[in-house]
Amino acid sequence: MVTRYAVPYADPYLLPMVALLSAIGVTMIYRLNPDDAFRQSLWIVLGVLLFALTLLTLRRDYRIVERYKYLFGLGALVVLALPALPGIGQTINGARLWVKIGPLQFQPGELAKIMLIVFLAGYLRDKREVLAQGRLKDFGPLLVIWGASMLVLVQTNDLGSALLHFGIFLAMVYVATGRVSYAAAGLVLFVIGAAAIYTVVPRVESRVSVWLDPWADADGTGYQSIQSLFSIGNGGFGGTGLGRGTFTTTDGNAIIPFLNTDFIYSAIAQELGLVGSAALLLVFMLFVARGMRVALMVDDGFSKLLAAGLTFGFALQSFIIVGGVLRVIPLTGITLPFVSYGGSSVVANFVLLAGLMLVSNRANARA
């Protein structure tokens, strides 16, 4: 009802696809842990409320946020630095990316992702012509804010989000300038930086070693990846059936640790098989296709960059986690949007959806 009132011309497929992904996620989480499913449902309710509030607040002209692009950029740095603060920062599974204030625990990096996209969209719209000419001085504020955010991410050991933000940065620079050389230079810098981090950060070295050969330490660092691959293989073509997968031992211990967060795709692949897991990926691909269509339809530079950044962020996050589970790339601890258990991710992605709906409403209304 809020969507029909606030954005009547918005893309009609985005919201139903998100509803489907959220329903699949809650169903799978309930099958694994009913208590987690209840909490996930509450986070979805909060996400829908923020989705509606964003639409109602910005329905007249969402482009007003472009005026505050530098505040969004600095705000993203502050939010990313919160887990490093003593007292409120929490280290979970080797990564210091959580903030706990009283009973509330959340992951601020999810919100920082959207804030950085807004900043990049506003800054690149202003500077895209001079950036395309390659004037070094115009890269100054961009590189300062981006370098600082990457430094904070490495400090907190949240390398999955670092990879996500770096990829969004490269994609938006390419969309703004059309210069393939910038993307290529960024990839070279990423390889150099990754090689340097590999030698000094044990967590990264461990993740890469597990990616290359998980069976080298089957009972230690490679245990999760190996059990995940067995789970996917056990699903076969048609799956074992919803609720009929094997995820615990006879004494009730979990076979795959952190199944409902990092490895929920393995559970889906076992119970729904290749058919079900491929269908899930097709829903993600359709969402990305509709998002990129919105970016192509809209006529102003800020909206185009905003839609492209939001969509690519969603696509890259999905690829990073599914690619890690399938050993296409090293595994990183980020969530599968709308499907994995995690309140911060659900809320942030509903705000991302609201951004795409606002842009698509403007594009279709003008058309």
- What is the predicted pLDDT for the residue at 198? 77
Other Cβ atoms less than 10 A from the Cβ of 129: the count is 12
pLDDT given for residue 79 in this prediction: 84
Q: Among 183-192, 236-245, 289-298, 321-330, where is mean pLDDT lowest?
A: 183-192
Query: Could you please report the per-residue DSSP string of 48-78?
Result: HHHHHHHHHHHSS-GGGGGGGHHHHHHHHHH
Give residue 271's domain range: 2-366
- Checking if the pLDDT of 311 tops 80, the result is yes
Contacts (Cβ under 8 Å, ≥6 apart) of 104: none
pLDDT tens for residues 205-226? 888 888 889 998 888 889 989 9
pLDDT of 91 > 70? The answer is no
Q: What is the pLDDT of residue 108?
A: 79
pTM for the model: 0.92
Mean pLDDT of 219-248: 91
Q: How many domains does the chain have?
A: 1
Of the listed ranges 161-165, 174-178, 257-261, the least confidently predicted one is: 161-165
Residue 89 pairs with which residues in a beta bridge? 99
Give 24's pLDDT tier (boundaries 50, 70, 90): very high
Give the contacts of 39 (CB within 8 A, at least 6 positions apart).
Answer: 341, 343
Read off the pLDDT of residues 33-77 as tens digits, 9 standing for 90 and up: 999 999 999 999 999 999 999 999 999 999 999 999 999 988 888
Burial 308-346 (b: 16+ CB within 10 A, else e): bbbbbbbbbbbbbbbebbbeebbbbbbbbbbbbbbbbbb
Q: Residues 177-203: what's their mean pLDDT?
A: 78
Q: How does DSSP assign 281-314, residue by residue?
A: HHHHHHHHHHHHHHHHH--SHHHHHHHHHHHHHH
